[in-house]
Amino acid sequence: MDFFTLPPNVEPFTKNITDRILSINRHDIQNVGKVATATLAVYFVTSKLYSAFLGPLSSVPGPFQLKFYGFRYVPNIESPPGSTWEKLHMWQSKYGNVVRLGPSTIGIADKNMLKQILSTDDFPKGPAYQRTQVGGVNVGNADDRDFHKQRRRVISPAFSVKFVDSLERYMITSAGTLMKSVDQSIAQTQRNDGYGKVDMWILLKRFALEIIGESLFGGQTYRELENDSHTVNASTNGGMIGPLNYIANSPILGVLKLLLPFTGISEAYANSSQFRDKVILKRLQGGENARREDILQVLIDTQNERNPEDRLPIDAVVGETMLFWTIGTETISYVAGFAIIELLKNPQVFATLREELDNCFITSKKESLKNGGNTLFEHEQIKHLPYLNAVIDETLRIHSGATEGLERITDKDTVLGDRLFVPKGTILNCNMFYVQLNPDYWPEPTKFIPERWLPDSNIPADQEAFFPFSIGSRNCIAKQFAMQALRLAVANLIKFYDFEGIPEEINASNERSCFGAILGVRSNSFKVFMKRRQATPMKTT
Ligand code: HEM
């Protein structure tokens, strides 16, 4: 029998059905449609009402409207773009450490619950990260535990303490370039007393772009980068953090923003990607001759591993490199920028830090550290300076990254903090920003007091409520790298320059916005008067 010919008894049967369907008149179809729509509407409304008022999260306090839709979907006309973080902060302070942010979303700013979510239960990353997987899965957005564990194991040698130590030479070169740029800005606007105007915010963005560029894929390429205005502009205007962040943080407005050509975000991202691909291709094609001791090389060298599971496919090398480039640039530059702003707002803190740095012996005679007649600090000399570390920690506390929260999703029913039942599938927005300013844990939370980090402090810092690099299996892989870069930047700037704050600029720096993962100055600029110190005291052994 021909396989595609229907048996004789089936044909009349199907014909019968067709005839009956055709015989249903239009009116009947409309009625069926109405009943189906009404049933769906009743189901939708009932389930929304149930979830809002009777479901397991119904006892969690929060703004009324967020019982019905998630905070990321709120088109926010009354507050400017980039200010969702302010709303989250306000709700958290109004409703408490646990707040309802959507039908199945809660915000958490309780330190014990955060520890449970991020470390003990180690819940996977939530839908905001999954949305960014359209651009590829990487160590940062992976939500599959096994995939993440494997990927993180393979790339972690690039961030080991030893390897990061070896990147110091690139970081010092970048600190030198930063100081050259500061000197140039001063020279262009110099007053009679030697001070000139410097946009510290923009120069620190370039500094971070260079430090990451150098450590990631090469000095040679950085020189290309200097001529590549696309990439520098993308970074300095915040476009490089990537369209994916917009999609993650604001599924409706974010996507609209990307589609509007005048925002330039997609273009900036495309240009950065093109630049990155050029650099990686050059390294791959150059073989042994193109080798350079940097993060890219560590990733490429995984191809020689004996175990195939330990080899990173080339598309993953490209994806991870882009992730480090974008995340690393904005985080380092913003934290360094806010450290300088806080030091200017708090002259006594500035003086104490300056004194500590002036008393720090310069032991190295390395030529590479010479800069404009002065010798730059090496990391070894400054990494244990208590006050420098206290200034950086206090900056990380007040100006934390993850300003709009780190998202996790429960993969089992759970009880948070022994008191809150949370069903499987609940989205947990871990509000690291709020917890670090939470008056329950921090006396005078908004005051910049580095002394709280010193061993003999009478208002000791609550280390358990401090999550700048997160904790658990998804903590920042580059903490060591970031701290090294921050210490070198802040120590060398404060050691070698005098600063004079500009009151309007300091006031304007209180206006902040967050478009990616981290809070920045809304105007994308912070100007200050600076001059080289006349006789920089140098203590040598
Ligand atoms: C002051 C600077 C930095 C801060 C405050 C910071 C903070 C954080 C935080 C809070 C997380 C957890 C994110 C989450 O759960 O979604 C994270 C993860 C991560 N960070 Fe950083 N970061 C900094 C610098 C850097 C740099 C310089 C790089 C790369 C060169 C980097 C690479 C990463 C990566 C790859 C992850 C994902 C790790 C994983 O999921 O296994 N970060 N960072």
Q: Give the distance between the most distant pair of CA atoms in the chain.
A: 104
What residue's CA is closest to ligand 1, atom 28? 328
Residue 420 has pLDDT above 90, yes or no: yes
What percent of the chain shows pLDDT beyond 90? Answer: 54
pLDDT range class, residue 33, cuts 50, 70, 90: confident
Q: Which of 14-18, 57-61, 142-146, 425-429 has the lowest mean pLDDT?
A: 14-18
Helix 314-345 × helix 145-155 angle, to 10°: 80
The reported pLDDT for the residue numbered 156 is 96
Closest CA to 120 of 400, 403, 464, 438: 464
CB of 519 shorter than 6 A to ligand 1: no
Find the mean pLDDT for residues 240-263: 61
CB of 474 shorter than 6 A to ligand 1: yes
The reported pLDDT for the residue numbered 137 is 93
Residue 164 has pLDDT above 60, yes or no: yes
Report the distance separating Cα 143 and Cα 125, nearest Å.
5
Q: Which of 224-233, 307-316, 527-536 has the highest mean pLDDT?
A: 307-316
Closest atom, ligand 1, to C-alpha of 467: 10
Determine what percent of the chain falls in helix, strand and coil, rounding each to the nearest 5.
60, 10, 30
Closest atom, ligand 1, to C-alpha of 141: 40
What are the angstrom distances between the C-alpha of 109 and each of 98, 136, 405? Answer: 6, 30, 10
Q: Which of 18-27, 104-113, 324-333 has the lowest mean pLDDT?
A: 18-27
Find the mean pLDDT for residues 322-351: 93
Q: Which residue has the tokens 């007649």?
A: 373
Q: Tell me the residue ranges of DSSP E strands in 54-143.
A: 98-102, 105-108
Find the mean pLDDT for residues 259-274: 67
CB of 427 shorter than 6 A to ligand 1: no
Q: What is the 3-state secondary structure (H, E, C) of 14-36?
A: HHHHHHHHHHCCHHHHHHHHHHH
The reported pLDDT for the residue numbered 469 is 96
* Dihedral of alpha carbons 238, 239, 242, 244, sign: positive
Closest atom, ligand 1, to C-alpha of 329: 27
CB of 405 shorter than 6 A to ligand 1: no
The reported pLDDT for the residue numbered 53 is 79
The reported pLDDT for the residue numbered 481 is 97
Residues composing the chain: 541
The reported pLDDT for the residue numbered 312 is 94
The reported pLDDT for the residue numbered 372 is 54
Find the mean pLDDT for residues 324-345: 92
CB of 335 shorter than 6 A to ligand 1: yes
The CA 67 to ligand 1 mean position distance, Å, reads: 31
CB of 478 shorter than 6 A to ligand 1: yes
What are the angstrom distances between the C-alpha of 236 and each of 148, 352, 464? Answer: 31, 31, 34
Closest atom, ligand 1, to C-alpha of 335: 1
Query: Average pLDDT, whole number, for the chain?
Result: 85
Report the distance separating Cα 533 and Cα 371, nearest Å.
13
- DSSP element (H, E) containing 421: strand 420-422
pLDDT range class, residue 60, cuts 50, 70, 90: very high
CB of 490 shorter than 6 A to ligand 1: no
- For 91-140, write each residue's pLDDT tens digit: 999 999 999 999 999 999 999 999 999 999 999 999 989 988 877 899 99
Q: Which residue has the tokens 């189906």?
A: 36
The reported pLDDT for the residue numbered 410 is 98
- For 464-496, write each residue's pLDDT tens digit: 999 999 999 999 999 999 999 999 999 999 999
Find the mean pLDDT for residues 436-450: 95
Q: Which of 13-27, 85-99, 457-471 has the lowest mean pLDDT?
A: 13-27
Residue 167 has pLDDT above 60, yes or no: yes
CB of 436 shorter than 6 A to ligand 1: no
CB of 324 shorter than 6 A to ligand 1: yes
The reported pLDDT for the residue numbered 83 is 80
CB of 470 shorter than 6 A to ligand 1: yes
pLDDT range class, residue 354, cuts 50, 70, 90: very high
The CA 382 to ligand 1 mean position distance, Å, reads: 23
Find the mean pLDDT for residues 391-419: 94
Q: Which of 39-48, 115-124, 407-416 has the lowest mean pLDDT?
A: 39-48
Phi, psi of 532 (to 5 degrees): -65, 140
Find the mean pLDDT for residues 486-508: 96
The CA 323 to ligand 1 mean position distance, Å, reads: 10
The CA 515 to ligand 1 mean position distance, Å, reads: 16
Q: Which residue has the tokens 């019905």?
A: 68
Find the mean pLDDT for residues 370-384: 79
Q: Give the angle subtended at the CA of 16 by the CAs of 12 and 22, to the nearest 5°.
A: 140
CB of 483 shorter than 6 A to ligand 1: no
Closest CA to 283 of 294, 273, 272: 294
Report the distance separating Cα 265 and Cα 234, nearest Å.
8
Mutate to test the pocket of ligand 1, among 476, 480, 481, 490 (most ligand atoms within 8 A of CB): 476
Residue 536, SS3 per DSSP = coil
Helices (H) and strands (E) in the chain, counts: 22, 13
- For 177-221, write each residue's pLDDT tens digit: 899 999 999 999 999 999 999 999 999 988 988 899 889 987 555
What residue's CA is closest to ligand 1, atom 25? 328
> Residue 43's beta-bridge partner residues?
none
The answer to whether the annotation marks 360 as part of a ligand binding site is: no
Q: Which of 289-293, 317-321, 515-519 has the lowest mean pLDDT?
A: 515-519
Residue 155 has pLDDT above 50, yes or no: yes
The CA 331 to ligand 1 mean position distance, Å, reads: 8
* Dihedral of alpha carbons 206, 211, 217, 222, sign: positive
Closest atom, ligand 1, to C-alpha of 142: 40
Closest atom, ligand 1, to C-alpha of 475: 12
The reported pLDDT for the residue numbered 57 is 94
